[in-house]
Structure formats: structure tokens, C-alpha cells
């Protein structure tokens, strides 16, 4: 590879406030079109916006969690452009004095920690939505739904510190985890509450100067971030190799075709004619309020991951997975508080628990198994009442019925067989029934051991203690 990519992301995050950024209208998703609007958010003349303090608090929280400097003085600006979903003819945003600047977040790339700089985080209002429908008569209609107009957004702009499509995905994932930990954005990419514009250029390896960048607009899944960037990097390399040059432009990702397509060039770019918003006072942040917000921050993913490794002795990858969502991390720790062995709990959570939840399309919040129920089941394994294999059945029963492990074990007669006599009887039975296999085993086909174990487990309905089965089987076969 002669070339390297340079990537910077601009991420829009819808804030989880109950009301809009400059009026009291609800932000709830999915309501009847235009039912959540008022003169302020539909841009009537003469109305005045008032800043929602919650939105400011959420932006400050995000800035603190991403190691930003919080501006003591910041202000809003008008970004002028015309579009039917923007009734005022301008969007209230921030420009030269954003609320947060100069931060970073850490990602893991190729096993190493890498800092990705955050240039700025600013607040702005979302626009409405245009809906295009064609009628049965062949005509087409366009509608404007202004429910989303005025929903508070944060735009989080990264430095061009990202080098590969997979680093871009790691960055997005880490950012999403932080936003969800803070409860300032639900991170739902399908519904568009988290969306990303990806900027990418290429240059010869070792080159200092940045190449001309292309912006890919509105990517709405991790997979598409990766795919769109991979495609775009290849496309740019080909253009250069063919003797052409990259033009600065905005492109759109077409997920059906798997390609990016030009949307507009530099010449057609908007001139936004930014100027300070005269209807809103500048924002000053006082130390006391800032400290209160600092103290309200939860333990964040990176800190939690480090603590899990140290305190619970689990592996780096397990800790990474278990801290990806705060609710999952809490579930894990609750199981430990209930007496579960951390390593075993980690194995069960990442194995059977997440598998079932995934199959049933449920989140950890909707998990019917209580952390203490897993811890209790693990104790039954540890004291030899049930085998690890039977535990899988027990666990599924807990999930289905909500009953505790000891009750299920009793009801279903799943107590492990640890009587040597009983196991010996089963072993004898299987060996007698399969003289041919015994012959082959003894003449060197050692793989047949698994076959015998399987048969023994079958006639003991999986309840035989596996260790004893192995011991007795080996003795008898030799």
C-alpha cells in the first residue's frame, strides 16, 4: 500500500431532552406529523427562542466526558440556507464560539490505545423532514413534517486523526457508548438519532500535507460507515493512479449499490453567511454549575473497563464487551454481588445470556433472568449438584419460566450422577453394545472416545459427572 487514508467524522447526536431546544414542544419520536409544533419551531415571525437548559447541560456533560475544554463564553449563530424543512430560512447553530473544544476519546486499534482528537462540540437545532409520496394517479406530492424541527442536536467534530475504516467504526462505537452512558442520546442509528458525515482523503504514506477531502453525508449504521469509507478510499486511489485528481465534493452513500455518488461539488456548496444569533444571549457558564455537572458524571466506559480488569480479574476483551453498555455492566456486577464467580459470570453473560437475548431480539434491560439467579445456578455447578452441560438446560429454563435453578433441578430431576457404581454401569452398557468400536479404539482409533462419552451421556440423560465418566471410561478401555 503506497497510500494512507485520513478520516475525520462529523457526528450528529439527537439529545434526549423531553422538549425542543428553543421551545416547549415535545421531542417524542413517531407522533402524528406536525402535532408537536408551535410558532417558535415553525418559524413564525416575531417569536423569540429561549434556550433549553437541559440541552446545554447535556452538551457540557458530553464535553466533559470527551476531555474537552468547556467554553466559559459561547454563543449561537445563524446558519443561513433555504430548504422546505427549515421554515425560518436559517438554522440556529454555533460557529466561532462552540460550547466545547479540544477534547479526545480513546479507541483500541490493533491492540494499541489511540487518541482521536475532538475538535469541537456544538449545539444546534434539527430541521424538519420532507416526505415524498407518489399518488396512484401518477402525480407526486411532497409534505413537510416539522415535529423534528427544533429537536436539540449536538454536532461532534473529530480531528482528522482516524486512519482506517475500522478505526472509524471503533470511534463511532466508543462515542455511542459514552453518549448512552451519559443518557444524553439514545444512539439509535436506524431512527437517525445518531448519524455521521465521514470526511476522507488519501495521501502517499509518510506525506505530511493533507489531501483533498471528500465528504460522505448521512451514514446511518456502523456497517455503512465502514463500507462507504472502504469504497471511497479505493475510488480515490484509483483516480490518482489513473493520473486524475480528487475534487472536493459531497458524496452520498448508496447502500443498495454499495457505492458513493457525487451529490454536489465545491462550487455548489452553500455559503451559509454565519452571523451571531441576535435573539439569544451569549452563554456564560459558572464554575459552581460546572462542578455540579462534573460530579454527576457516571463512571465512563474506559474507566469501568480498567476497573473490571483490576477488580474482577477478567480479560481485556471480556471487560470491553461487558462495559459496552452500562446496563450490561450493571447486570454483570449485580451477579458478582450475589456471589457469582466473576470469570464464570463473564463466560455465561457473553455466551448463553447474550446468545438467548440476541435470538429473542431482547435487550439486557428486558432480560427475564435476574443476576442473582445466574449466581445461584453457578453455585450449583461449583458444589457439584449439576454439571456444566446440564447447566445450559437449567439456564434456558430459568429464562423461560423465571423459576430459580434449585427448583428447576428438583422438578426435572437434573441432579448430577456422581455415584461411581451408577456411572460404571452405564459405561459397561455402552461398551457391551458397541464391541466393534471398542475393537477399533483399542487398535488406535482414539477419536472414538468422544463417541463413547456421547453414548454414556445419552443413556444418563446428560446427568453423569463428565470427569468421572472420562476416568472410568479410560480405565475400562485400557
Q: Which residue has the cell 437541559?
A: 54
- Decide whether 36 or 91 has the Cβ nearer to ligand ADP: 91
25 binds, among ligand ADP, Zn ion, none (CB under 5 to 8 A by kind): Zn ion
Euclidean distance between CA atoms 64 and 333, whole angstroms? 25
Torsional sign, CA 50, 52, 58, 64: positive
41 binds, among Zn ion, ligand ADP, none (CB under 5 to 8 A by kind): Zn ion
- Strand (E) positions, 15-75? 69-70, 73-74
At 66, list the grid cell: 470527551
Position among 25, 121, 357, 457 found at the interface with Zn ion (CB under 5 A): 25
10 binds, among Zn ion, ligand ADP, none (CB under 5 to 8 A by kind): ligand ADP
Answer yes or no whether residue 23 interacts with Zn ion by CB under 5 A.
yes
Burial of 32 (0-12, 13-18, 19+ CB in 10 A): exposed
- Decide whether 87 or 98 has the Cβ nearer to ligand ADP: 98
Answer yes or no whether residue 184 interacts with Zn ion by CB under 5 A.
no
- Give the total of residues touching Zn ion (CB under 5 A): 5
x-or-dash pattern for Zn ion, window 73-102, by CB under 5 A? ------------------------------
Cα of first residue to Cα of last residue in the chain, in angstroms, is 58
Q: What is the DSSP string of 121-137?
A: EEEEE---EEEEEE-TT
Whether 249 and 265 have beta carbons less than 8 Å apart is answered as yes
At 183, list the grid cell: 443518557
CB of 15 to Zn ion, least distance (A): 15
Whether 154 and 62 have beta carbons less than 8 Å apart is answered as yes
**Which residues of the chain form contacts with ligand ADP (CB under 6 A)?**
6-10, 157-160, 199-201, 210-211, 213
Q: Which residue has the cell 416547549?
A: 24
CB of 117 to ligand ADP, least distance (A): 8
Q: What is the number of the residue whose Cβ is closest to ligand ADP?
A: 8
Answer yes or no whether residue 417 interacts with Zn ion by CB under 5 A.
no
What part of residues 235-264 is at the interface with Zn ion (CB under 5 A)?
Answer: none
Position among 29, 33, 38, 396 found at the interface with Zn ion (CB under 5 A): 38
DSSP annotation of 365 reads G
Whether 134 and 140 have beta carbons less than 8 Å apart is answered as yes
- Decide whether 41 or 175 has the Cβ nearer to Zn ion: 41
Q: Which residue has the cell 430560512?
A: 89
201 binds, among ligand ADP, Zn ion, none (CB under 5 to 8 A by kind): ligand ADP
- Decide whether 49 or 371 has the Cβ nearer to Zn ion: 49
CB of 199 to ligand ADP, least distance (A): 3
Q: How many CA atoms within 13 Å lie on the side-chain side of 111?
A: 0
CB of 160 to ligand ADP, least distance (A): 4
Applying CB under 5 A, which residues contact Zn ion? 23, 25, 38, 40-41
Amino acid at each position: 500500500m503506497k497510500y494512507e487514508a485520513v478520516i475525520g467524522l462529523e457526528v450528529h447526536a439527537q439529545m434526549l431532552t423531553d422538549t425542543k431546544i428553543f421551545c416547549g414542544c415535545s421531542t417524542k419520536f413517531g407522533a402524528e406529523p406536525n402535532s408537536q409544533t408551535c410558532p417558535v419551531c415553525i418559524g413564525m415571525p416575531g417569536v423569540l427562542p429561549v434556550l433549553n437548559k437541559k440541552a446545554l447541560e447535556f452538551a457540557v456533560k458530553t464535553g466533559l466526558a470527551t476531555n474537552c475544554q468547556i467554553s466559559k463564553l459561547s454563543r449561537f449563530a445563524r446558519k443561513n440556507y433555504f430548504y422546505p424543512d427549515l421554515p425560518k430560512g436559517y438554522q440556529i447553530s454555533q460557529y466561532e464560539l462552540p460550547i466545547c473544544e479540544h477534547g479526545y476519546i480513546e479507541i483500541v486499534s490493533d491492540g494499541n490505545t489511540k487518541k482521536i482528537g475532538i475538535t469541537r462540540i456544538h449545539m444546534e437545532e434539527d430541521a424538519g423532514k420532507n416526505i415524498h409520496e407518489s399518488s396512484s394517479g401518477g402525480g407526486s406530492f411532497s409534505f413537510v413534517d416539522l415535529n423534528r424541527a427544533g429537536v436539540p442536536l449536538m454536532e461532534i467534530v473529530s480531528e482528522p486523526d482516524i486512519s482506517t475504516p475500522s478505526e472509524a467504526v471503533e470511534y463511532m462505537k466508543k462515542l455511542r457508548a459514552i453518549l448512552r452512558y451519559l443518557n444524553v442520546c439514545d444512539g439509535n442509528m436506524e431512527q437517525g438519532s445518531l448519524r455521521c458525515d465521514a470526511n476522507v482523503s488519501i495521501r502517499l504514506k509518510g506525506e505530511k500535507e493533507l489531501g483533498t477531502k471528500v465528504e460522505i453525508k448521512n451514514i446511518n449504521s456502523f456497517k455503512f460507515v465502514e463500507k462507504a469509507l472502504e469504497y471511497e478510499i479505493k475510488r480515490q486511489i484509483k483516480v490518482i493512479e489513473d493520473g486524475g485528481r480528487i475534487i472536493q465534493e459531497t458524496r452520498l452513500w448508496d447502500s443498495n449499490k454499495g457505492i458513493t455518488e457525487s451529490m454536489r461539488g465545491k462550487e455548489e456548496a452553500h455559503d451559509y453567511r454565519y452571523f451571531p444569533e441576535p435573539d439569544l444571549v451569549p452563554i456564560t457558564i459558572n464554575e459552581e454549575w460546572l462542578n455540579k455537572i462534573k460530579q454527576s458524571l457516571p463512571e465512563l466506559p474506559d474507566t469501568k473497563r480498567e476497573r473490571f480488569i483490576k477488580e474482577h480479574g477478567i480479560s481485556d476483551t471480556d471487560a470491553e464487551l461487558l462495559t459496552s453498555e452500562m446496563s450490561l455492566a450493571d447486570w454483570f456486577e449485580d451477579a458478582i454481588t450475589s456471589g457469582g464467580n466473576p470469570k464464570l459470570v463473564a463466560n455465561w453473560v457473553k455466551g448463553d445470556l447474550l446468545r438467548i437475548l440476541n435470538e429473542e431480539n431482547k435487550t439486557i434491560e428486558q432480560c427475564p433472568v435476574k443476576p442473582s439467579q445466574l449466581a445461584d445456578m453457578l453455585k450449583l455447578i461449583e458444589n457439584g449438584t449439576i454439571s456444566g452441560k446440564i447447566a445450559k438446560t437449567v439456564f434456558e429454563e430459568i429464562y423461560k419460566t423465571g423459576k430459580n435453578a434449585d427448583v428447576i433441578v428438583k422438578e426435572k430431576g437434573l441432579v448430577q450422577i456422581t455415584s461411581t457404581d451408577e456411572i460404571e454401569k452405564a459405561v459397561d452398557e455402552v461398551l457391551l453394545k458397541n464391541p466393534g468400536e471398542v475393537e477399533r479404539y483399542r487398535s488406535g482409533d482414539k477419536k472414538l472416545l468422544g463417541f463413547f462419552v456421547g453414548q454414556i451421556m445419552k443413556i444418563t440423560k446428560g446427568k453423569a459427572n463428565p470427569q468421572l465418566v472420562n476416568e472410568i471410561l479410560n480405565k475400562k478401555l485400557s
